Chains A and B, each alone.
Chain A
Amino acid sequence: QVQLQESGPGLVKPSETLSLTCTVSGGSISSYFWSWIRQSPGKGLEWIGYFYYSGSTNYNPSLKSRVTMSLDTSKNQFSLKLNSVTAADTAVYYCASGSTWNYFDYWGQGTLVTVSS
């Protein structure tokens, strides 16, 4: 059973970079597609993008210019960086995975990130 755990700062200042890490256990990071999804009261569930160990990626065009995802196979970790954040980026951020790129079988517990000075 794949288990995911997000970690990172809960508070980020406007214009700075949001950085989150998802630690994977119970499965190989090279066996799944890895996505970040966020949830805010105003915008509901929003898919941010996915990354596959082969290097295949796809980011939501609404965030593409600000997003970078990466894998660290040695640590079994998956990371998200979102730069130039604003209050609109305040949300619960989930890492999620699936055996395909388009369905999300496993989710982390989510981490609330607040953008505020």
Chain B
Amino acid sequence: DIQMTQSPSSVSASVGDRITITCRASQGISSWLAWYQQKPGKVPKLLIYAATSLQSGVPSRFSGSGSGTDFTLTISSLQPEDFATYYCQQANSFPFTFGPGTKVEIK
């Protein structure tokens, strides 16, 4: 199985901050990567797929980059509704696997 790691595990930030979350795959996955946002008690929501493609309806302050083994999710200007946990998921090979999550908290 491809192992996914994320860093940091949590980050404290203020509204308006720019934050970057990193995801690393244990082997190359080309651009087969997705990012999901999950708020407490809610369902994961697809934000980005194919490493850089924004899912319909997702604000443009979210962006993704990377290929191979190293990927990033950037939120350019953090909004109150963005405080959540973010997960990456490799979509390259079975079984699909998720990272452990990065919790974005209010400073």
How many A-B pairs with Cβ below 8 Å?
A: 47
Contacts of A61 in B (CB 8 A): 1, 95
Please tell me the number of chain B residues within 8 Å of chain A, measured between CB atoms: 22
* Contacting pair B96 A102 (CB below 8 A): yes
Q: Look across to chain A and name the residue whose beta carbon is closest to the beta carbon of B95.
A: A60
* Contacting pair A47 B44 (CB below 8 A): no
Q: Look across to chain B and name the residue whose beta carbon is closest to the beta carbon of A108.
A: B43
SS class of chain A's interface: helix, strand, loop or mixed?
loop
Q: How far is the CA of A71 from the CA of B1 in the complex (A)?
A: 27
SS class of chain B's interface: helix, strand, loop or mixed?
loop
Query: A47-B95, A102-B91, A105-B55 known; A94 and B43 CB under 8 Å?
Result: yes
* Contacting pair B32 A107 (CB below 8 A): no
Q: How far is the CA of A61 from the CA of B49 in the complex (A)?
A: 24
Q: Is B97 an interface residue (CB 8 A)?
A: yes
* Contacting pair A103 B95 (CB below 8 A): no
Q: How far is the CA of A110 from the CA of B91 in the complex (A)?
A: 21
Contacts of B96 in A (CB 8 A): 47, 102
Interface members, chain A 77-117 (any B CB < 8 Å): 94, 102-105, 107-110
Q: Which of B32, B87, B95 has the most CB of A within 10 A?
A: B95
Contacts of A109 in B (CB 8 A): 43
Task: Report A19-57 CB contacts with B as 1/0, cut-off 8 Å.
Answer: 000000000000000000000000011110100000000
Q: Is B101 an interface residue (CB 8 A)?
A: yes
Q: Is A15 an interface residue (CB 8 A)?
A: no
Q: A44-B98, A61-B1, A61-B95 are in contact. List 12 more A-B contacts (CB 8 A).
A: A44-B87, A44-B99, A45-B89, A45-B98, A46-B98, A47-B96, A102-B91, A103-B89, A105-B46, A105-B55, A107-B44, A110-B43
Q: Which residues of A contact B (CB under 8 A)?
A: 44-47, 49, 58, 60-62, 94, 102-105, 107-110
